[in-house]
Structure 1
Amino acid sequence: MESTGDYQIPKHIVAVSGLFQNEQNETLLVKTNWRNDTWELPGGQVEEGETLTEAATREFLEETGIEAEIIGVTGVYQNVTSSLVSVVFKGKALTTEITKQIEEIQEARFVKLTPENIADYITRPHMCSRALDALESDGGVPMESVQVQPHQLLHRLG
């Protein structure tokens, strides 16, 4: 096989979000300033050197002030137009008082989210399908975070 010489390393944005529920099985949703036409699952971009689970719990805490425990992965999604890969988690809210909201978050609240009412809250189809997948999943998709040279398992779900 011969090289064509024009290969470029792809650059993607990796994002995380999560369906986090309290003891009453209510889901925490946020409304951002730049997408205020819809509610959505809390989340954001993964920072360099951060594991996916670290990013998910950090974003959740930053956006809502609530600490969370990750149960598992519910799906991986790709937006080809923006080169975005999104990993969606399911988890438990360990605290319930919404206290800390960064400037990008307009509002956050727990709602009794169901397949029947999900479109009343999450109006963008791609966000709705991700939330619905997470709502109906047990979070059983395996995921690992590893370090290489030397090899070390940092975190495993599933």
Structure 2
Amino acid sequence: MPQDWLPPTQYYATLPKQIAGAGVIFRDAHDRVLIVETTYGAKTWEIPGGALEEGESPLAGARREVREELGLDLQPGRLLAVDWVPPRPDGRPALTNHLFDGGVLDEKQVASLRLADGELTRFTFATRDETAALLRPHLARRVAVCLDVVHTGRTAYLKNGVDPTGTPTSPDCA
């Protein structure tokens, strides 16, 4: 029985939709993480980053978001984690988020940070415990894993901020 194949444009239209994002984990000399407070929604704390534009690579999107949000034009470093977040009841499709290492910002770089007008209200550097209190739970888990793997050279695969394979991320657990 012959298979009826769809033309590519029709076939691609049948595929499930997902969104993709990218963020950057910046640290200070005390290994605290840079977080930013947003003006939209419930004024939540986030890491620098956001949604990718059509056809944009995760690395390029991370760099663009940091430039737009903080006025900092730095090439992010290696990929620390990929986090797949399932669809939400509010209709948001599944999200694949890529987290890159932004390295340690020195005092001059921190002084040069310029928050995006209308998008961000402030920034701070937060300890692991502070991020657990300030960030939404899945994002706090994601950041904690990134802090674990940044010094190991490994990349973590996460589902909603948790490694579904059970692979230890902390160097103490390896």
Q: What TM-score bracket applies, with the shorter chain setting the length?
A: 0.7 to 0.9
1:69-148 map, 5 Å: 69-81=75-87, 82-92=93-103, 93=105, 95-97=109-111, 98-109=113-124, 111-114=125-128, 116-122=129-135, 124-138=136-150, 140-141=154-155
* Identity level (%): 27
| Aligned residue-pair number | 139
**Structure 1 stretches (4+) deviating beyond 6 angstroms?**
none
Distance in 2 between residues matched to 1:113 and 1:67, nearest whole Å: 24
State the secondary structure of the residue aligned to 1:70. coil
Change over 3 Å in CA distance of 1:47–1:60 after alignment to 2: same
State the secondary structure of the residue aligned to 2:84. strand
Letter of the aligned partner of 2:131 in structure 1?
Answer: I
Structure with more strand by fraction: 1
Distance in 2 between residues matched to 1:96 and 1:61, nearest whole Å: 13
Question: CA deviation digits over 1:61-101, x for unaligned, max 9?
Answer: 21112233422112112222122111111212472222242
Aligned-pair CA distance for 1:24: 4.6
Structure with more helix by fraction: 2
Moved more, 40-49 or 26-35: 26-35
Unaligned stretches of 5+ in structure 1?
Answer: 143-158
Aligned-pair CA distance for 1:118: 2.5
TM-score by length of 2: 0.66
In structure 2, what is the equivalent of residue 13 of structure 1? 19
Change over 3 Å in CA distance of 1:26–1:84 after alignment to 2: same
Unaligned stretches of 5+ in structure 2?
Answer: 88-92, 157-174
Distance in 1 between residues matched to 2:142 and 2:4, nearest whole Å: 39
State the secondary structure of the residue aligned to 1:132. helix
Change over 3 Å in CA distance of 1:18–1:87 after alignment to 2: same
Distance in 1 between residues matched to 2:27 and 2:74, nearest whole Å: 9
The root-mean-square deviation of aligned C-alpha atoms, in Å, is 2.7
Distance in 1 between residues matched to 2:66 and 2:141, nearest whole Å: 20
